[in-house]
Amino acid sequence: MKTLGMRDTTPQRRFLFGERPFWWVHESGYYNEAPAQVHQFPVSCETGPGSPSGHCMITGAALWPIMIATSSQIAKRSHSHWMKLMPSLAYSTFLLAVGLSRIFILAHFPHQVLGGLIAGALLGWLMTPHVPIDRPVSFYGLTALALLLGASLIYWSLISLGIDLTWSVHLASKWCERPEWVHIETRPFAGLSRDAGAALGLGIALHSPCYAQVRRARLGILQQAACLLLVLGLLGLLNCLGNPPQLSLFYVFNFLKFTLWPCLVTALVPWLVLSLSVQEAPPAKSK
């Protein structure tokens, strides 16, 4: 039995505290006698425990309502079974590609990817009928607050019970081939500040006068294309800003950045495009 030199795996490590292959090959002790060579990539060095896969879960959950909406639109317009199947086929193929790529770069073991895919699809299925439409802005603000407080409470409770939730960050930093590949955005609290910011931003955007104006006017296909291009450019620029090096400042910056995202995408850019195209349009002829 190959148990000599194996790392002590404490009980709290086992429950939802998966290992990443890029550090497991070194830490497990299985390869002490014949050290394994692992090839890493700039996106390998995730700092979370990796179970289930966050990429698969988020992608699966976020694309589910889009897949359902597209399927119902196609069903209204086409009688072909193949056409009706297209959205679910595209959904499954895309998720399969995401899952395989996570395994290929040694960010995950296959069971973690499978867990992420199932959890994502389940989340999408359960939450799609409950999309919060026409909720007051306080609903979004309180959701952001509940996310921040809830996660902090769990974090500090576990810390006080002696469970160090940053163990995976230490392992990632230890075994990542290059220190610059350990991205600050992969830290668990980065995801939290991002999601809380996005929830608040969505509330602000949906209750803004810009959004109300865009909703009344309804954008044409060319205007929508212009919005898409402009949004991609602006979000790209925001990403180019980089991050503050200090961790607490980074969390605040990340929160504000992702509060701005939905405001740009949902309200500000469409309003700007609408205002510009109204100015450009020739005045209507009087009879």
CB of 23 to ligand BG6, least distance (A): 13
Pick from 64, 60, 49: which is nearest to 17 by CA?
49
Catalytic residue among 81, 108, 111, 130: 108
Q: In this chain, which residue has its C-beta nearest to ligand BG6?
A: 54
CB of 146 to ligand BG6, least distance (A): 18
Active site residue 26: no
Residues 182 to 221: which contact ligand BG6 by CB under 6 A?
185-186, 190-191
Q: Report how far apart the first and last C-alpha atoms of the chain are (Å, whole number).
A: 93
Does 58 bind ligand BG6 (CB under 6 A)? Our answer is: yes
Q: Closest CB to ligand BG6 among 91 and 258?
A: 258
Contact 98, 55 (CB under 8 A): yes
140's CB contacts (< 8 A; 6+ apart) are 132, 199, 200, 202, 203, 204, 206
CB of 147 to ligand BG6, least distance (A): 12
* Buried residues in 180-216 as b, exposed as e (16+ CB within 10 A): ebbbeebbbbbbbbbbbbbbbbbbbbbebebbeebee
Q: Closest CB to ligand BG6 among 186 and 266?
A: 186
Binding site for ligand BG6 (CB under 6 A): 46, 48, 50, 53-55, 58, 102, 107, 185-186, 190-191
Which residues are identified as catalytic?
Answer: 55, 108
